[in-house]
Structure 1
Amino acid sequence: MLELRGLARLNVGPIDLVVGAGECLAITGPSGAGKSLLLRMVADLDPHDGDCLLDGRSCAGMPATAWRAQVRYLPAESGWWRETVAEHFPSGTDFAAGLPALGLPAEAARWPVARLSTGERQRLALLRAIGPGVRVLLLDEPTSGLDAGNVAAVESLLAAQCAAGVALLLVTHDEAQAARLATRRLRLAGGRLATTEGAA
């Protein structure tokens, strides 16, 4: 269980929120409302007031590396710092299973990053974020710019993560996607979260 207690920075918060294991919480709202900032606070990437807890363990009470090994943030624009795709993944990663599930051939592991399209980088970054020990995925527009087939593949992978007990915080401008994936939907506006009208 992920719990936010009084989380606040700049014009966002304070926010109190609980997200259960296997739950997908979609956050929508206007551009500039602070949705990405909220995810960055939960990932402990920006200074903030308040705290986050994972199964009762405070983020403030553990090393940043230990928190981020369990709470993974996937920004809208992923970072790549080595020459090939495989160099960004742990040794022993099963590319033959993971890549085809996202519409990519297994040999894409050997591709230089420079040849990847924006959509390929987006899908590979998601695969990179998923792994043993990950309890929470913080997803910032994970399917923006993808075609319908690839959106479906990504959504299928995310649904499987939920089924395995991973909690998802999904920032999206796509209301239809929120309706398809989310067990709960909230809207961020004026620095506060509110239940989306018509959401379960």
Structure 2
Amino acid sequence: MNNSVPLLQVKHLSVHSLQHINFSLFAQECMCIQGTSGSGKSLLLKALADLIPAQGEVLLHSQKQSDIEPSQWRRNVTLVPAMPSWWYATVKEHFSCNIDHWLTQLALSPSITQQPIHTLSTGEKQRLALCRALQHNPYVLLLDEPTANLDPTSQSLLEQFLFNYFLAQPDRSIIWVAHHPSPWLIRRAKRFTLHGGYLSEDD
């Protein structure tokens, strides 16, 4: 589904070392961003999520980021950071809906919701942070290295889940930062490189 109007538009976005970032993301598209460490990939995601001030414009459904309450924008354009924060003692306290159907698709037992956060592995926390983001039904997911701490099987399941479940819905898109994208992701995503403060689409 590739409508004539982009779901997310970025116009001349500049923040710190990033200069005049421009791109359009359409419904049911995945954009994969690569770049060396320190190139500004995480910085870009934070600006798109309205977590840091930036110059330029970001629009969702043609509405400017500056015209939407920051809390509402972040529900619609949701960042899942590489190292997610947790503010309650147990998993279940972070959720307001039943997530068992997502957990099973991500190779996690539903019983994990009863566990204390401090007992979880980094990979488990990454997948649970994704579920936490999904419960708000965002239009755009901003994923910062979501498979960095997963084994190959868990990585494949997460990729398939995002493409077959999330992107299968209308008006949904993903921006995926990956230092080493998998062959599966390379085949299915539009690839861009961040270098020297500028974003360019790969051939």
Shorter chain as normaliser: what TM range? over 0.9
Could you tell me which of 60, 70, 73 is aligned with 1:54? 60
Is 2:73 the partner of 1:67? yes
1:135 alignment partner in structure 2: 139
Distance 1:43 1:95 in 2: 24
Distance 2:29 2:91 in 1: 30
Could you tell me which of 90, 103, 106 is aligned with 1:102? 106
Distance 1:21 1:126 in 2: 19
Distance 2:176 2:81 in 1: 11
Letter in 2 for 1:179: I
2:162 alignment partner in structure 1: 158
Distance 1:190 1:25 in 2: 19
Corresponding residue SS for 1:107:
helix
Letter in 2 for 1:195: E
Is 2:90 the partner of 1:84? yes
Could you tell me which of 24, 27, 39 is aligned with 1:21? 27
- Where in structure 1 are there 5+ consecutive unaligned residues? none
Corresponding residue SS for 1:163:
coil
Letter in 2 for 1:76: A
2:4 alignment partner in structure 1: none
- Where in structure 2 are there 5+ consecutive unaligned residues? 1-6
Distance 1:96 1:131 in 2: 12
Shift of 1:98: 1.6
Shift of 1:122: 0.7
RMSD: 1.2
Encode CA deviations 1:7-62: one digit per residue, 9 max, x unaligned: 11111021111101110000011111101100000000011101210011111011
CA contact (8 A) 1:11 1:34 kept: yes
Letter in 2 for 1:53: L
- TM-score of the two chains, using structure 1 as the length reference: 0.93
Shift of 1:89: 1.1
- TM-score of the two chains, using structure 2 as the length reference: 0.92
Shift of 1:132: 4.7
Encode CA deviations 1:105-163: one digit per residue, 9 max, x unaligned: 11111111111011100110011111354100000000002101110111011102111
CA contact (8 A) 2:90 2:116 kept: yes
Letter in 1 for 2:87: W
Distance 2:120 2:82 in 1: 16
User: Which contiguous aligned blocks of 4+ residues in structure 1 show a shift greater than 2 angstroms?
Assistant: 175-178
CA contact (8 A) 1:3 1:19 kept: yes
